């Protein structure tokens, strides 16, 4: 006849359960809420509400309604000339046209890119799909803003024109659809306000920080600090390849006469840290 191993007594089980509860509570106290490291002497450079903390630089905020840029912005297009731009990838003059203060893609002349390279930045740009354009999916009403000439925030007629959602206005092309469709009707002006932070690469470790984008279309949040998966690709998964911290900002000639005005940019330093 087989004999079973002795079973733990009810008293032993009770003691074991109690020990588990006590150790779980101890772990919660160590890792749970309220256990963030407390600031000790010397942790922070400034006191809370420190009157000696340096004041932020005064900036006149400008007025988008009158195309006046903030006082510390670099104006890339002021309605007059394309001196800040070249044909992308060359020193040749940008071939797009300016009429009545409006910049328009001259189809077939190629993308245009800023002479000055930019990295992390705040960008403001206004764009319009002329009412005479015939829009069908990705055709007829397409342009785009490429940060570092690689990462596209799409420009497309999206108030009535239907396409794949990761290719509509407000999308990071091929990666993230906009959170909402805030596109204005064809013939009206749209505004983009964007915070772009580029990726960082390390020779040994590869990518150590992905690019991130926060974007507002007509004042409405459409991209909320998303992490890009790589450089913009068409019909393929995006991947990264190492590059520097800055590069020309590029506007796309997709073969369609898209219009622009009031383009300005503010280079950004590193994100603030507690001090
Ligand atoms: Mg495009």
Distance of alpha carbon 122 from alpha carbon 10, whole angstroms: 67
Domain membership flag for residue 272: no
What pLDDT tens digit does each residue of the chain (275 aa) get? 444 555 655 555 544 444 444 444 444 444 445 566 666 778 899 999 999 999 988 889 988 788 899 999 999 999 999 999 999 999 999 999 999 999 999 999 999 999 999 999 999 999 999 999 999 999 999 999 999 999 999 999 999 999 999 999 999 999 999 999 999 999 999 999 999 999 999 999 899 999 999 999 999 999 999 999 999 999 999 999 999 999 999 999 999 999 999 999 999 999 888 88
Residues 48, 91 share a domain: no
In the three-class reduction of DSSP (H, G, I as helix; E, B as strand; rest coil), residue 121 is classed as strand
Domain membership flag for residue 162: yes
Residues 118, 83 share a domain: yes
Ligand 1 mean position, distance from CA 275 (Å): 41
Residues 232, 176 share a domain: yes
Q: Check residue 3 and give its pLDDT.
A: 47
Distance of alpha carbon 129 from alpha carbon 156, whole angstroms: 8
Ligand 1 mean position, distance from CA 144 (Å): 4
Domain count, the chain: 2
Burial class from Cβ neighbours inside 10 Å (0-12, 13-18, 19+) for residue 204 reads exposed
Q: Containing domain of residue 33, as a range?
A: 11-57
Domain membership flag for residue 147: yes
Residues 214, 136 share a domain: yes
Ligand 1 mean position, distance from CA 167 (Å): 8
Residues 124, 38 share a domain: no
Domain membership flag for residue 6: no
Q: Check residue 41 and give its pLDDT.
A: 74
Ligand 1 mean position, distance from CA 67 (Å): 24
Ligand 1 mean position, distance from CA 245 (Å): 23
Residue with tokens 């925030």: 153
pTM of the model: 0.84
Residues 78, 108 share a domain: yes
Domain membership flag for residue 62: no
Ligand 1 mean position, distance from CA 139 (Å): 10
Residues 141, 216 share a domain: yes
In the three-class reduction of DSSP (H, G, I as helix; E, B as strand; rest coil), residue 63 is classed as strand
Ligand 1 mean position, distance from CA 220 (Å): 20
Domain membership flag for residue 65: no
Residues 122, 26 share a domain: no
Ligand 1 mean position, distance from CA 63 (Å): 28
Residues 91, 194 share a domain: yes
CATH number reported for the structural domain that contains residue 86 in this entry: 2.60.120.560
Residues 81, 186 share a domain: yes
Ligand 1 mean position, distance from CA 104 (Å): 15
Domain membership flag for residue 5: no
Ligand 1 mean position, distance from CA 154 (Å): 5
Ligand 1 mean position, distance from CA 3 (Å): 77
Q: Check residue 1 and give its pLDDT.
A: 43
Structure tokens at 245: 């911290």
Residues 136, 85 share a domain: yes
Angle at 150 between CA 146 and CA 156, to 5 degrees: 40
First to last CA, the chain: 75
Ligand 1 mean position, distance from CA 132 (Å): 19
Residues 49, 81 share a domain: no
Ligand 1 mean position, distance from CA 115 (Å): 21
Domain membership flag for residue 274: no
Q: Check residue 50 and give its pLDDT.
A: 94
């Amino acid at each position: 006849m087989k004999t079973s191993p002795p079973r733990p007594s009810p008293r032993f089980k009770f003691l074991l359960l109690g020990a588990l509860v006590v150790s779980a509570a101890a772990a919660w106290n160590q890792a749970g809420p309220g256990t963030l490291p407390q600031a000790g002497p010397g942790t922070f450079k400034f006191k809370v509400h420190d009157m000696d903390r340096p004041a932020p630089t005064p900036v006149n905020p400008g007025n988008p309604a009158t195309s006046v840029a903030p006082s510390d912005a670099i104006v890339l297009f002021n309605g007059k000339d394309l001196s800040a731009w070249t044909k992308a990838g060359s020193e040749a003059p940008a071939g797009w046209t300016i009429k009545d203060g409006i910049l328009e893609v001259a189809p077939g002349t190629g993308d245009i890119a800023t002479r000055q390279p930019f990295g992390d930045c705040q960008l403001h740009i206004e764009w319009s799909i002329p009412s005479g354009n015939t829009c069908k999916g990705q055709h007829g009403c397409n342009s785009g803003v490429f940060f570092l000439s690689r990462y596209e925030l799409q420009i497309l007629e999206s108030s009535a024109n239907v396409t794949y959602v990761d290719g509509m206005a407000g999308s990071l092309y091929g990666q993230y659809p906009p959170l909402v469709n805030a596109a204005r009707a064809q013939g009206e002006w749209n505004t983009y306000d964007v915070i772009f932070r580029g990726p960082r690469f390390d020779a040994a470790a590869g990518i150590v920080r992905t690019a991130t984008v926060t974007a507002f279309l007509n004042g409405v949040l459409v991209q909320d600090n998303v992490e890009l998966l790589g450089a913009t690709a068409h019909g393929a998964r995006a991947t990264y390849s190492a590059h520097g911290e800055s590069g020309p900002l590029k506007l796309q000639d997709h073969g369609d006469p898209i219009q622009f005005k009031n383009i300005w940019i503010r280079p950004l330093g590193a994100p603030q840290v507690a001090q």
